[in-house]
Amino acid sequence: MKPVGSSSAPLSSRYVVQLSDVSLSHAQLMHWIAEFNETTGRWPDRDQVQGAPMYEDDLLGDLQRWSLVAWDADECLVAMEQWVTLPVVGSVAAGVPIEAIENHQGQLSLPLNLFRERPTYLLRVRGDSMKDAGILDGDLIAVRKTDNVGEGKIIVARVDNEVTVKRLKLEADQVALMPENPSYQPIMVAPEELVVEGVFVGVIRERNRLH
C-alpha cells in the first residue's frame, strides 16, 4: 500500500511514532483499513470505520496523531504512509520451514518505515527466554527471512526440528544461541546443524502489556 496523501500539519508538530507505540490492536485496525481499500478499491468512510469490529476511538485517535491516517475531502479515511501486510505465523510444525506452514493466524498491517529492515512475517513467541531483550511470552515478533546474519543479531533458528528465538554468538567450533534471561542456558549447536529462518526486526504486543 502506498501513501496517497500528506498531512497538512507542520512537520515540526508531528509526533514521531515508534514501533513500540504500535500495539496489536492498532495493527488490527490498520489491517481492516488496508483490506477495505484492497477489496473495494476505495477508502472507508466514517460510518464504515466506526462499524469495524476492532474500532475504538482511542485507536483511531492514535493513528491520526501519528499521521498514519487522515480524513480526505470526501470524509474517507486514507493511509498517509506506506504499510506492509504480514502473515502471522502461529504454531510451528516440527521440521517444516516457516514459510511452508499453513496454519497462519491471519494478517496484520504495519507502517513500513518503523522497521530497520523490511519484515517478511510475524511470529508468535512462546516462552520468556528473551524477556531481557524486550521480547515477552505472547508477543508477535517481526522477522525478515534471511540466512545471512551476523554475530550479536537476534535470530529465528531451527535446531533439531524446533524453532527458537535467540541471540547469535559464534564460538570456536560451535554456534551459541544465547537467551536473554539468566534462568535459561545457551543452546550449543554445530554450525552445520543450524538452520537460520530469519532475523528479528521488531516486536508488537497488546496495549495492556506495553511497558
Give whole-number Cα distances, 19 to 111, 151, 168, in Å: 9, 24, 23
How far is 28 from 40, CA to CA, in rounded Å? 18
**Beta-bridge partner residues of 142:** 122, 202
- Check if 25 is active-site: no
Tracing cell 544461541 back to the chain, one arrives at 177
User: Catalytic: which of 12, 13, 129, 145?
Assistant: 129
- Other C-beta atoms closer than 10 Å to the C-beta of 89 total 23
Contact of 88 with 124, CB cutoff 8 Å: yes
User: Catalytic: which of 91, 131, 166, 169?
Assistant: 166
**Helix 24-40 × helix 57-65 angle, to 10°:** 80
- Check if 169 is active-site: no
* DSSP code, position 97: -
Going by C-alpha positions, the residue among 157, 197, 199 that lies closest to residue 176 is 157
How far is 80 from 113, CA to CA, in rounded Å? 12
How far is 50 from 20, CA to CA, in rounded Å? 25
How far is 191 from 23, CA to CA, in rounded Å? 36
Catalytic residues: 129, 166
